[in-house]
């Protein structure tokens, strides 16, 4: 039967304890979530500044929909590029310091556009082994286009330099997350930019978990490291995490973005996001720019969590970001711990292979500026009891 293989593979996934389940929320995204008829304290979202349920942003989206309609009607390059799209791209460029940006429906589509567009036959891609799945898929597309693809050990700048020095490719791309989504650590961007300069390579940065959070005013990982918006950098930022809305952008030089517009398949052949989303993002950018108090609370809560869980038998990885992974190790043990927390009203997801390496199943604690000191203390106390 045509579905036999699917049945077998799904059974294998279940037997390995790797079946994924969706939770249906009956409330907006926020620190509290109504799920399955009960209220949960939410440590599962990427809503780092607590903006996903912000009423001002929601009102801007609603007003935008009334003014511009529910949909864009076409791809950007046909008839779907409306005035709000043009405006938010200019605002994002000014905010990040780059000459120009291009907006996408999702971060996944943005990443799928960049690497295969800039690397093809005769070129080379050098990617961190812990890059996000979207960057890995983009790397595979580049490989299908004839590019030589090599992955260097996570954060190993010396290994990357050896690969760059040995490469005879005409065009080279270094591809990395800024904040790694399952470990929470930061890429050594100053060292990577130095290598890109010395070996005349593009530096492609996925700043999904840095944009809005890092930097003096939330400009992202480059601002955190006090790095310039160099012409050889292609910066991707998502707008559905700290920004609280949806979509993504790629920032770069005017020339690089024009090239991406002309040749990026997942940009050219995708319907543009509803213009109301751009209206909401404009308000979100204002709140990010003026969100120093939100970021201060976020980092205070991160510090509180790390101090409170120090010495626990499940170690936290060395992360200074909103992503705090608690390493449990065994898949079933991680799932069991998440289940007990759930029963106590704490939503902390278990992350298992293949998302993370075998033997490193974990709880991914996601801290938000919306969390209070009492929220964090409740999680600390519960985990200590369970340990």
Report the 10 Å Cβ neighbour count for 224. 20
Q: Which residues pair with 366 in a beta bridge?
A: 323
Report how far residue 107's alpha carbon sits from residue 174's, in angstroms, rounded to the nearest whole number. 18
Is 284 an annotated catalytic residue? no
Angle at 108 between CA 105 and CA 110, to 5 degrees: 65
Q: Which of 76, 132, 209, 224 is catalytic?
A: 209
Is 384 an annotated catalytic residue? no
Q: Are 58 and 250 in contact (CB under 8 A)?
A: no
- Which DSSP category does 344 fall into? T
Q: Helix, strand, coil: what percent of the chain each, to 5? A: 45, 20, 40
Rg of the chain on CA atoms, in Å: 21
HSE at residue 77, side-chain half, CA atoms within 13 A, is: 14
Report how far residue 214's alpha carbon sits from residue 367's, in angstroms, rounded to the nearest whole number. 14
Q: Which of 45, 134, 181, 319 is catalytic?
A: 181
Question: Which residue in the block uniquely carries the two structure tokens 């999904």?
Answer: 208
Is 371 an annotated catalytic residue? no
Q: Are 90 and 258 in contact (CB under 8 A)?
A: no
Q: Are 176 and 131 in contact (CB under 8 A)?
A: yes
* 39 sits in which H/E element: strand 38-42
Q: Which of 76, 132, 241, 371 is catalytic?
A: 241
Q: Are 171 and 202 in contact (CB under 8 A)?
A: yes
Instruction: Give the catalytic positions in this structure.
Output: 181, 209, 241
């Amino acid at each position: 039967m045509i579905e036999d293989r699917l049945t077998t593979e799904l059974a294998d996934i279940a037997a390995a304890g790797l079946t994924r389940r969706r939770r249906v929320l009956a409330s907006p995204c926020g620190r509290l979530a109504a799920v399955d008829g009960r209220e949960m304290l939410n440590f599962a979202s990427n809503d780092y500044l607590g903006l996903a349920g912000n009423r001002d942003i929601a009102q801007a989206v609603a007003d935008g929909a009334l003014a511009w309609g529910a949909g864009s009607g076409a791809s950007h390059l046909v008839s779907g590029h409306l005035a709000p799209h043009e405006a938010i791209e200019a605002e994002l460029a000014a905010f990040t310091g780059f000459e120009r940006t291009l907006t996408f429906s999702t971060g996944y589509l943005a990443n799928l556009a960049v690497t295969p567009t800039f690397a093809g036959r005769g070129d080379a891609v050098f990617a961190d082994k812990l890059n996000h799945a979207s960057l890995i898929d983009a790397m595979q597309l580049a490989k299908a286009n004839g590019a030589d693809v090599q992955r260097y050990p996570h954060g190993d700048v010396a290994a990357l330099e050896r690969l760059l020095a040995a490469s005879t490719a005409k065009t080279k791309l270094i591809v990395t997350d800024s904040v790694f989504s399952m470990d929470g650590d930061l890429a050594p961007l100053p060292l990577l930019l130095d290598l890109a300069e010395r070996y005349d390579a593009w530096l492609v940065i996925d700043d999904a978990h840095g944009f809005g959070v890092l930097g003096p005013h939330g400009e992202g990982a480059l601002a955190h490291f006090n790095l310039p918006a160099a012409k050889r950098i292609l910066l991707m930022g998502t707008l559905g995490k700290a920004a609280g809305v949806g979509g993504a952008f790629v920032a770069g030089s005017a020339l690089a973005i024009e090239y991406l517009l002309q040749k990026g398949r997942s940009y050219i052949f995708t319907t543009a996001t509803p213009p109301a989303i751009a209206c909401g993002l404009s308000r979100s950018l204002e709140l990010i720019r003026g969100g120093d108090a939100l970021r201060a609370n976020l980092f205070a809560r991160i510090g509180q969590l790390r101090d409170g869980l120090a010495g626990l038998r499940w170690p936290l990885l060395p992360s200074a970001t909103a992503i705090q992974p608690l390493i449990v190790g065994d898949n079933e043990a991680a799932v069991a711990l998440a289940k007990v927390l759930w029963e106590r009203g704490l939503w902390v997801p278990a992350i298992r292979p293949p998302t993370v390496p075998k033997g490193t199943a974990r709880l991914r604690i996601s801290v938000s500026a919306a969390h209070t000191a009492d929220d964090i203390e409740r999680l600390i106390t519960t985990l200590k009891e369970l340990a």
